[in-house]
């Protein structure tokens, strides 16, 4: 917390702004609804935000490299149904999860290969994967959901450790690891370098292709982790799951201050962005506001966040 106040770095001011926005939002809903600021509702919001939050971590890495991943929702659905069929075949739960994560990672890696070696713009490569993974999931299941799992698997959604729901714990662990990777490791520095100035990154001897593959692979892997959480939560894996999740993930990332031009961004910002979207949906629901208005509000918040970015950039220059 102290860092926010002491450091005058623009990114951190931005992050503070987002954080302040989240607090202001919570205050507003606390005033408007007696049901908002209760322990059970706050845990409810955290749990509801957890899946999008986890997917958004991968999105943040990709966007920092000045890329985009439109396939996260489809990859989630495909890895979910593959995992579900492995579980239904009676194999142990860890095997099912590993296979699911493997499918997600492979789809992501394929995105990475198309972007790094194929030189296809990320928008197009992942747009293709979005359709391929969706089709693969539908074909694999004949369009039908795969439902009904053991309680020990569903524990990943229903369980609690010290009153904290397991999905929230998974989310926190993912964010801690991602934050450490981005801020403390070579890979983190390279991620920013690729997005900041790709040519300079090449000239300074960074193996861009390798790192792009890893980063898109991570995005796929985290989509698959989202699939594990969603499947456990709904007790069902649907081939039509995760439609348009890519937009929620992009929104969370952008609200969190990551620049679509690359080279700039933090996962903490993304977490706050995901929570802002979660709190908005929850609060507006509690107030009985129609879903049409909710869409207008969420859109306005995204634009508001970008306006702030442009504003900061102008001041910087």
Partner 1 sequence: MKNITTHQFSALLLITLLVFTSFSCYKEEFPGRPTVALVVKTLNNPFFNDMQTGAEEMARELEINLIVQAAEREVDVEQQVQIVENLIQRRVDAIMLTPSGSREVVPVIASANRNNIPIINLDTRVDADLLASDNAFVSTFIGSDNYEGGLIAGRYVGEQLNGVGKVAILEGIPGHETADSRQQGFLSGIGEYPGIEIVTSQTANWERNMGYTVFQNILQSFNDVQAVFAASDLMALGAVEAIASSGRDPDDIIVVGFDAHVEAVDAIRRGVMHATIAQNPYEIGRAGVEYAYKVLNGEDIPNNINVEIKLITRDNVDE
Give helix 267-286 / helix 39-64 axis angle, nearest 10°. Answer: 140
- By beta-carbon proximity to partner 1, the closer residue of 66 and 279 is 279
- Of 50, 65, 223, 238, the one binding partner 1 (CB under 8 A) is 238
Q: Which two tokens stand for residue 301?
A: 């918040």
* Cβ neighbour number for residue 188 with a 10 Å cutoff: 18
Number of residues that make up the chain: 317
Residue 70 touching partner 1 (CB under 8 A): no
Residue 16 touching partner 1 (CB under 8 A): yes
Residues 6+ apart with CB under 8 A from 101: 79, 221, 224, 225, 228
CB 225 within 8 A of CB 231: no
Residue 236 touching partner 1 (CB under 8 A): yes
Stretch that binds partner 1, among 32-40, 60-68, 86-94, 111-119 (CB under 8 A): 32-40
CB 195 within 8 A of CB 64: yes
* Cβ neighbour number for residue 161 with a 10 Å cutoff: 9
- Of 2, 244, 310, 317, the one binding partner 1 (CB under 8 A) is 244
- Of 93, 127, 202, 286, the one binding partner 1 (CB under 8 A) is 286
22 alpha-carbon distance from chain centroid: 18
Measured from the CB of residue 291, what is the shortest distance to partner 1 in angstroms?
Answer: 6
Interacting residues toward partner 1 by CB under 8 A: 8, 13-14, 16-18, 20-21, 24-25, 28, 32-33, 35, 38, 40-41, 44, 48, 51, 141-145, 147-148, 154, 157-158, 230, 233-236, 238, 240-241, 243-244, 281-282, 284-297, 300-301, 304-305, 307-308, 311-312, 315
């Amino acid at each position: 917390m102290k860092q926010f106040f002491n450091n005058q770095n623009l990114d951190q001011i931005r992050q503070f702004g987002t954080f302040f926005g989240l607090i202001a939002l919570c205050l507003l809903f606390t005033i408007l609804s007696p049901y908002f600021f209760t322990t059970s509702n706050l845990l409810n919001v955290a749990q509801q935000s957890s899946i999008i939050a986890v997917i958004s971590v991968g999105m943040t890495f990709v966007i920092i490299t000045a890329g985009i991943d439109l396939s996260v929702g489809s990859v989630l659905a495909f890895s979910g149904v593959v995992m579900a069929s492995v579980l239904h075949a009676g194999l142990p739960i860890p095997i099912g999860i590993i296979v699911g994560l493997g499918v997600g990672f492979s789809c992501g890696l394929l995105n990475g290969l198309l972007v790094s070696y194929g030189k296809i713009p990320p928008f197009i490569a992942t747009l293709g994967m979005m359709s391929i993974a969706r089709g693969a999931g539908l074909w694999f299941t004949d369009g039908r959901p795969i439902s009904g799992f053991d309680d020990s698997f569903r524990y990943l959604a229903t369980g609690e450790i010290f009153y904290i729901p397991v999905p929230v714990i998974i989310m926190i662990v993912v964010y801690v690891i991602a934050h450490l990777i981005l801020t403390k490791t070579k890979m983190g520095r390279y991620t920013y370098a690729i997005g900041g100035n790709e040519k300079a990154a090449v000239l300074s001897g960074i193996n861009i292709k390798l790192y792009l593959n890893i980063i898109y692979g991570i995005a796929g892997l985290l989509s698959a982790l989202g699939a594990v959480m969603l499947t456990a939560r709904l007790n069902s894996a649907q081939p039509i799951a995760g439609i348009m999740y890519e937009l929620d993930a992009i929104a969370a990332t952008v609200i969190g201050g990551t620049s679509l031009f690359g080279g700039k961004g933090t996962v903490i910002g993304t977490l706050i962005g995901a929570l802002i979207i979660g709190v908005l949906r929850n609060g507006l629901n509690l107030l009985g506001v129609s879903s049409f208005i909710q869409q207008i509000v969420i859109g306005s918040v995204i634009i508001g966040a970008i306006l702030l970015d442009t504003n900061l950039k102008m001041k910087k220059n």
